[in-house]
A and B are shown apart, each in its own frame.
Chain A
């Protein structure tokens, strides 16, 4: 199985743009979809990006996802940061039938 590595924390100011990376340890990042979840304090995770770059209905278009084969990583980009975006973000992919989560990134908006 592979691992998904995320930065432990990132911070940025309101109105700015932040990108959170998710690097796959082995095998191609393009081989399996990557999904992204937002978890606000004391709440359940919720999907913000699915299938690498698809946004569920109801999720702000300030959220976008991409993959980069050269760095073997996926990225979640949040533009026009708002204080309400402050949360933990987790990437997730899979290896056959095994679901794999990244360790999570704490986003601070200050």
Chain B
């Protein structure tokens, strides 16, 4: 059974870089028909797609966040990661990692991790 688990600091200072890792178990990240991505949800608000990556390293970014975001994949450890630079309080959110199909469905999600930006 596929499982995704987010990990990383729960508190980040303003202007610093948020770094999260998603560990995938129960499936190989190099399966050719799937992409892997990050979605966030500020407290009490809706969902916002951040970025996606293919096992080959091809990356796709939300245009509104592109200048601050890097997504990468580590096939040897079956993980993918997110870096978001120059964070502000507006980046406080629950961050989810998810698997995305080739018809752009997010069919499996991690439990999410709350990241708070505060000094």
A-B contact pairs, 18 of them (CB 8 A): A1-B63, A32-B104, A33-B104, A37-B106, A44-B96, A45-B47, A45-B109, A50-B101, A92-B106, A97-B52, A98-B49, A98-B63, A99-B39, A99-B52, A101-B48, A102-B46, A103-B46, A104-B46
Chain B residues with CB below 8 A from A51, complex form = 103, 105
Q: Which residues of B does A touch, CB under 8 Å? A: 37, 39, 46-49, 52, 60, 62-63, 96, 100-101, 103-107, 109-112
Given A1-B63, A45-B47, A90-B47, residue A99 in contact with residue B107 (CB < 8 A): no
- Are B96 and A101 in touch, CB under 8 angstroms? no
Chain A at the B interface: mostly helix, strand, loop or mixed?
A: strand
- Are B105 and A50 in touch, CB under 8 angstroms? yes
Shortest B89–chain A CB gap in Å is 21
| A44 and chain B: residue at smallest CB distance | B109
- Are A44 and B104 in touch, CB under 8 angstroms? no
